[in-house]
Amino acid sequence: MRLLFVCVGNSCRSQMAEGLAKLSGYDAHSAGTHPAQRVSQHALTILQKFGLDTKDMKPKSIDLFDPKDFDYVISMGCGVECPNIKLDQDWELDDPVGQSLEVFEQTAKEIQKRIGLLE
């Protein structure tokens, strides 16, 4: 199954979702409507704890992807509006940007749970 996780900055939630979905065996990607300069260090730390290589991770624009190439396009929340993209799900997760590592860990656990429900 091919998954595209979308948010505004593509620096926290969608990056963690991409990495965690890949660990679960999915062909996963992430993008933002207004990509940040870099991936959040806390998001990278969380993914590294799961054993993911994060050296090539960077925020990407939604314009680089064709949503038709994916089985599911999932918004992480924060009111992402993509007028030319049909969103299949909106997970409505709070943005952990600027918060503690513990908040990022809780967000990652919730993302893992939801990925497990995608079958």
DSSP state of 76: -
Distance CA 39, CA 43 (A): 7
Q: Is 102 exposed, middle or buried (0-12, 13-18, 19+ CB in 10 A)?
A: exposed
Per-residue DSSP letters for 10-57?
SSSHHHHHHHHHHHTT-EEEEEESS--SS--HHHHHHHHHTT---TT-
pLDDT higher than 80, residue 94: yes
Give the total number of structural domains in the chain: 1
How much is the pTM?
A: 0.93
pLDDT higher than 60, residue 83: no
Q: Which residues lie closer than 8 Å to 56 by C-beta, 6 or more apart?
A: none
Which residue range is the domain that position 68 belongs to? 2-116
Confidence of residue 54 (pLDDT cuts 50, 70, 90): very high
Per-residue pLDDT of 7-37, as tens digits, reads: 989 999 999 999 999 999 999 999 998 999 9
Task: Let me know: does 93 contact 13? Beta carbons within 8 Å.
Answer: yes
Domain containing 76 — which CATH number?
3.40.50.2300
DSSP bridge partners of 72: 3
Indicate the length of the chain as a whole number.
119
> Strand, helix or coil at 79?
coil
